[in-house]
């Protein structure tokens, strides 16, 4: 090989090494950029959800929403779902009063309207389930309650939800339609409190939702009554303005409305919208 040829070969090797080093620098820069890039909102750069979703929900949703929350967290490891259950009117008042929440699920359009009228809902609420009333009695139904009229017996201790609460408003509607007068021993601020009175044997019967009788298992016995068909409650759900983790909150609402969510809810005794 001539001196000129040897010099040309060395030049090619040097150029190739330089190009390889440059390529490694480019790849290193890309890798560094991908791993250090910040995420925004409640979704990471890879599209994974993150953050805590705070859900305010009607007391009657406690069992089914708790189950759905666990499913949601398993499906999205970077998330957490926290709940505040109670009377829909109290929850609505808390939201309009500035309580931090991402999602509101109400037991009636009337209580949802409190939130929408205040401008605290993001978008239009959507009905995701319906619920029907049932009479809860002591196990074995020792007083032989078989109808709504039976609850007017002065010897029975009956509990109703407060009339400003959706279950109380529905009970009042059913009683008015039947032209029945009933004086309860107490009015409770949510449906779980009314049911607890029967579970603790502090009352003989309570007008609650079918879902609550279902959730109580053998602690109570349910008695259906035809007037309940005239007082079925629609349950709306909405994303709230000021939600801190919007993407995750929307995904939770999507789960509630999905076939999987509906299966959990109908399994708890809710009716499809």
Please state the domain extents for the chain: 51-130+234-267, 133-230
Same CATH topology for 51-130+234-267 and 133-230: the answer is yes
What does pTM read for this prediction? 0.81
| Candidates 3.40.50.720, 3.10.350.10, 3.40.50.300, 3.40.190.10; CATH matching 133-230 | 3.40.190.10
Check residue 123 and give its pLDDT.
87
Asked if 182 and 151 touch (Cβ cutoff 8 Å), the reply is: yes
User: What pLDDT is recorded for position 6?
Assistant: 43
Question: Nearest to residue 185, comparing CAs of 160, 153, 168?
Answer: 160
In the chain, where do the E strands start and end? 51-58, 79-86, 103-105, 121-131, 133-137, 158-161, 186-188, 205-209, 221-223, 233-240
DSSP 208-241: EEHHHHHHHGGGSEEE--GGGGGSPEEEEEEEET
Q: What is the mean pLDDT of each run of 10 residues along the chain (273 residues)?
A: 44 41 34 32 60 97 98 96 97 97 97 98 96 97 97 96 95 94 95 97 97 96 95 97 94 98 97 94
CATH code of the domain occupying 51-130+234-267: 3.40.190.10
What does the pLDDT read at residue 10? Answer: 44
β-pair type (221-223, 133-137): antiparallel
């Amino acid at each position: 090989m001539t001196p000129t040829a040897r010099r040309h070969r060395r030049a090619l090797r040097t150029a190739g090494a330089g190009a390889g080093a440059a390529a490694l620098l480019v790849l290193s820069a890309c890798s560094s950029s991908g791993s250090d890039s910040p995420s925004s909102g409640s979704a990471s750069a890879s599209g994974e959800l993150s953050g805590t979703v705070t859900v305010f929900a009607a007391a009657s949703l406690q069992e089914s929403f708790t189950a759905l929350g666990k499913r949601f967290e398993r499906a999205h490891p970077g998330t957490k779902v926290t709940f505040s259950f109670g009377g829909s009117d109290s929850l609505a008042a808390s939201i309009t009063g500035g309580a931090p929440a991402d999602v509101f699920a109400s037991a009636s359009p009337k209580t949802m309207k409190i939130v929408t009228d205040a401008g605290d809902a993001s978008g239009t609420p959507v009905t995701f389930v319906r619920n029907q009333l049932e009479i809860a009695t002591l196990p074995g139904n020792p007083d032989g309650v078989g109808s709504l009229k039976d609850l007017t017996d002065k010897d029975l201790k009956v509990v109703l939800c407060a009339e400003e609460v959706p279950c109380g408003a529905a009970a009042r509607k059913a009683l008015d339609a039947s032209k029945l007068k009933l004086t309860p021993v107490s009015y409770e601020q949510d449906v779980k409190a009314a049911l607890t009175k029967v579970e603790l044997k502090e009352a003989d019967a309570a007008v609650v939702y079918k879902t609550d009788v279902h959730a109580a298992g053998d602690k109570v016995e349910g008695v259906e009554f035809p007037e309940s068909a005239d007082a079925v409650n629609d349950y709306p759900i909405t994303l709230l303005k000021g939600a801190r983790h919007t993407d995750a909150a929307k995904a939770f609402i999507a789960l509630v409305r999905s076939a999987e969510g509906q299966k959990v809810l109908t399994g708890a005794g809710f009716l499809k919208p």
